[in-house]
Amino acid sequence: MLTGRRALVTASSRNLGADIARALASHGASVVVTYHSSRAEAEQLVAELKGTSDGRHVAVRGDFATTVGVRAAVTEAIDAAGGGIDILVNNYGPFSMVPWRELPEQEWEAVLTGNLTAAYLASQLVLPQMQTAGWGRIVNLSAGSAYLRNHSIYGLAKAAVATFTESLALEVGPEVTVNAIAPGQIAESAPDISAVDPTFVARAVQRTPAGRLVTRGQVAGLVALLCTPAFDMLTGAVLPLDGGWRFNRF
């Protein structure tokens, strides 16, 4: 369904980004895998994608933590993909839950730049070609933390990603759709959040009507589906993939 489309997935050498790359490739897309320090893992993933799909897959080094790095990485990705990107997945998103009273200014800047500014700049760079071609898909990664008010700068950044998604969708239609996914706690990342809050995972499962955590594969599968013709009429949506965890209750 995505044969001939060229996809760029930020921070995709491992973890969720790698699963998104696999999902897009399985639908026929050629994928630009980006990495910062995990070159071996990125090259291994590209080899895997070439062995399981027919697309033109490449690895590009990129630093999405700075505006200069974003511009350089996306420009190189566009060239590596053959002169354009049809699908952009803004997956890069550094995490922090340091309380506001203790949050260092540099951490504020790093989390906002990585989650929000990088998505805005990458989108700005790929949009001209998408609109000229008459087709494009941008998928942003928000998070369940966007619905919370005790996840500090990360919650703020992911809420801003949701607003950015809705706003950008108004500007770039009808050629380009812009949507976001807001996963709840991802099962494979449970050890990471447990190191910050050892009770979080158990409480999340107990509060989730689905009775389990979402997986990376489920998130990646939805990213790919949002780029298929089945979702041509969906834009400006933020889809909470959390099994119903986000709902307040008394």
Task: Output 55 or 135, whichever has higher pLDDT.
Answer: 135
Does the residue 108 lie in any domain? yes
Residue 139 resides in a domain? yes
Say if residue 207's pLDDT is above 80: yes
Name the token pair of 126: 């790929």
Range of the domain at 76: 6-185+215-240
Residue 247 lies in a domain: no
pLDDT at 248: 86
* Residue 190, in any domain of the structure: no
Which residues make Cβ contacts (< 8 Å) with residue 159, sequence separation at least 6? 142, 146
DSSP 8-state secondary structure symbol assigned to residue 239: E
Handedness of CA 120, 233, 159, 87 (dihedral sign): negative
**In this predicted structure, what is the pLDDT of residue 45?**
98
Q: Does the pLDDT of residue 102 top 80, yes or no?
A: yes
* Pairing, β 238-241 against β 176-183: parallel
Mean pLDDT over all residues of the chain? 96
**pLDDT of 249:** 81
Residue 194 buriedness (CB in 10 A; 0-12 / 13-18 / 19+): middle
Q: Is residue 17 predicted with pLDDT exceeding 80?
A: yes
Whether 192 maps to a domain, the answer reads no
pLDDT, residue 71, reads 98
Domains of the chain: total: 1
Q: What is the mean pLDDT of residues 144-160?
A: 96
Q: Is residue 120 part of a domain?
A: yes
pLDDT above 70: percentage of residues in the chain: 100
What pLDDT score was predicted for residue 201?
Answer: 92
**Residue 226 resides in a domain:** yes
Q: Is residue 11 assigned to a domain?
A: yes
Predicted confidence (pLDDT) at residue 250 exceeds the cutoff of 80: no
Q: What is the mean pLDDT of residues 91-101?
A: 96
Region 138-149: mean pLDDT is 96
Q: What is the mean pLDDT of residues 3-21?
A: 98
In the structure, what pLDDT confidence band is assigned to residue 19 with cuts at 50, 70 and 90? Answer: very high
Q: What is the CATH number of the domain that holds 131?
A: 3.40.50.720
